[in-house]
Amino acid sequence: MVIAIDGPAASGKGTLARRIAAHLGRPHLDTGLLYRAVALALLDRGLPLTDSAGAARIAEALDVATLEEDRLRSREIGEAASLVSVHPGVRGALLDLQRRFAAQPGGAVLDGRDIGTVVCPEAEVKIYVTASPEERARRRFRELAGRGEPTTFDDILADILRRDTRDSERSAAPMRPAADARHLDTTSLDADAAFARALDMLPAGVA
């Protein structure tokens, strides 16, 4: 069974996906880290984020085993990933990788922005997680502050609004809920409450 969890940045989809995967004993892939890894590799090689050919080559050689580097979680790389994700060559290469991951025996849990619409449109479970931009900015601000990254709430909110616009208006696989996705608004929910709501959305006998 494939579980697709989509939504905008800092909506809580990643935390939710990890908990569901652990609860069900299924492999989990944070697909946003794939785009972050491509962006980081470009920057480390001194290549511009607009280098679509270079980005595509990196994406084609990407290994999911390399997604644990702490730098992938930084604000800078998050913004860079949003820019890299518009390249069709990158999306094509990573689409194949994500589908191979989802095709594992027993299925998998994937979270991102286009899992239920593009990557795994036939997924048995689709959940679209969202929260207000202000709440998402508060969460991201606390996360970055906890890692010692200098920032302000207003800057984070501006980043989130900018990324929402870019991700929803891009021509290739824009961010949007699948027509058959269940919606989960986490604005007023903590991680435990969101997890409980999500479990209720799974087919009977699965959770």
What is the pLDDT, as a whole number, of residue 170? 79
Token pair, residue 52, equals 């679509």
What is the pLDDT, as a whole number, of residue 82? 86
What is the pLDDT, as a whole number, of residue 107? 94
If one compares 190 and 82, the residue with the highest pLDDT of the two is 190
Tell me the pLDDT of the chain averaged across its residues.
Answer: 93
Strand 108-112 to 125-130 pairing: unpaired
What is the pLDDT, as a whole number, of residue 178? 96
pLDDT(205) > 80: no
What is the pLDDT, as a whole number, of residue 69? 78
Token pair, residue 9, equals 């940045």
* Residues 175, 122, 12: CA angle, nearest 5 degrees: 45
Using a pLDDT cut of 90, give the percent of the chain over it: 78
What is the pLDDT, as a whole number, of residue 207? 67
Q: Which residues are annotated as a binding site for ATP?
A: 7-15
The pTM assigned to this predicted structure is 0.91
Q: Which residues are annotated as a binding site?
A: 7-15
Token pair, residue 6, equals 């989509």
Taking residues 119-129, what's their average pLDDT?
97
In this structure, which topology does domain 2-201 adopt according to CATH? Rossmann fold (3.40.50)
Q: Please name which of 6, 68, 17 lies closest in space to residue 191, comparing C-alpha atoms.
A: 17
Residues 78-111 have pLDDT tens digits of 889 989 988 999 999 999 999 999 999 999 999 9
Residues 140-183 have pLDDT tens digits of 999 888 888 888 999 999 999 998 998 888 777 788 999 999 99
Residues 14-69 have pLDDT tens digits of 999 999 999 999 999 999 999 999 999 999 999 999 999 999 999 999 988 888 77
Using a pLDDT cut of 70, give the percent of the chain over it: 100
